[in-house]
């Protein structure tokens, strides 16, 4: 695995300027790469898009649907029997009322068990924001210098990672993994 320092920039020109600063400090072109990271949810990890296969807030919906069908069918049947008894309409009306009640109950049950999903990341866990990422393949000796250069050139969310660096690119970059921020103390060590 390779040691990688990366920083996020708002624009490609800002990222290119940071890369030029890295080159002027002796970093090789094969050790620096730039690429765009899409906003959360737009990484097309599934055939219909999005980053996850199911909505976490809808995980209990099938349970609610089952309860709703049962309760709705019973209420619909009671209403149907009442309509049958009072108005002397055909028994088919009771069956239709039970079916309508079951359908409405299934919708109500599913919706009652659908909740706003909790954030995928806790308040303590950093999330990866969209932007142009400048990634630098570094050694333990040059990592603080690279972090400092990225920060000084306007880089945000400076991170340290371990990954595969192949042919001048961070080949196993996963946008769904939260970044591991480089602390201010780490970056200030290179200034001392």
**Complete DSSP assignment for 140-152:** TTTHHHHHHHHHH
Residue with tokens 């690119």: 169
Cα 73 to Cα 79: distance, rounded to the nearest angstrom: 10
pLDDT band with cut points at 50, 70 and 90 for residue 99:
confident
Residue 170 has pLDDT above 80, yes or no: yes
pLDDT score, position 185: 46
Token pair in block for residue 132: 């142009």
3-state secondary structure 154-189: CCEEEEEEEECEECCEECCCCCCCCCCECCHHHHHH
Terminus-to-terminus CA distance in the chain, angstroms? 28
SS3 135: strand
Chain-centroid distance, C-alpha 104: 33
What average pLDDT score do residues 100-115 get?
Answer: 82
For CA atoms 158, 164, 165, 171, give the dihedral sign: negative
Backbone Cα Rg of the chain = 28
Name which CATH class applies to 2-52+124-189.
alpha beta
pLDDT tens figures, 21-53: 999 999 999 999 999 887 765 545 545 555 555
Query: How many Cα atoms are found within 13 Å in the side-chain-facing hemisphere of 150?
Result: 34
pLDDT given for residue 34 in this prediction? 94
Q: Where are the domains of the chain?
A: 2-52+124-189, 56-112
pLDDT computed for residue 56 by the predictor: 63
Question: Which of 53-57, 61-65, 129-133 is least confident?
Answer: 53-57
Query: Which pLDDT score is estimated for 15?
Result: 94
Which of 33, 4, 10, 31 lies closest to 153 in space, CA to CA? Answer: 10
Mean pLDDT of the residues in the chain: 80
Q: Give just the sign of the alpha carbon dihedral 157, 160, 162, 163.
A: positive
In this prediction, residue 122 has a pLDDT band, given cuts at 50, 70 and 90, of: very low
């Amino acid at each position: 695995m390779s040691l990688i320092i990366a920083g996020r920039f708002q624009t490609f020109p800002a990222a290119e300027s940071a890369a030029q600063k890295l080159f002027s400090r002796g970093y090789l072109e094969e050790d620096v790469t730039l690429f765009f990271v899409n906003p959360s949810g737009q990484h097309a990890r599934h055939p219909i898009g999005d980053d996850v296969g199911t909505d976490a807030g809808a995980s209990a919906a099938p349970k609610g649907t089952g309860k709703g069908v049962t309760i709705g069918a019973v209420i619909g049947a009671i209403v149907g029997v009442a309509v049958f008894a009072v108005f002397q309409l055909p028994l088919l009306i009771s069956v239709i009322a039970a079916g309508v009640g079951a359908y409405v109950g299934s919708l109500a049950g599913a919706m009652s068990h659908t909740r706003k999903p909790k954030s995928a990341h806790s308040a303590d866990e950093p999330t990866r924001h969209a932007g142009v990422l400048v990634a630098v393949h570094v050694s333990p000796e040059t990592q603080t210098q690279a972090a400092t250069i990225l920060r000084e050139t306007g880089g945000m969310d400076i991170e340290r990672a371990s990954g595969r660096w192949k042919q001048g690119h961070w080949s196993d970059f996963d946008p769904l993994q939260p970044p591991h921020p480089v602390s201010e103390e780490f970056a200030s060590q290179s200034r001392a």
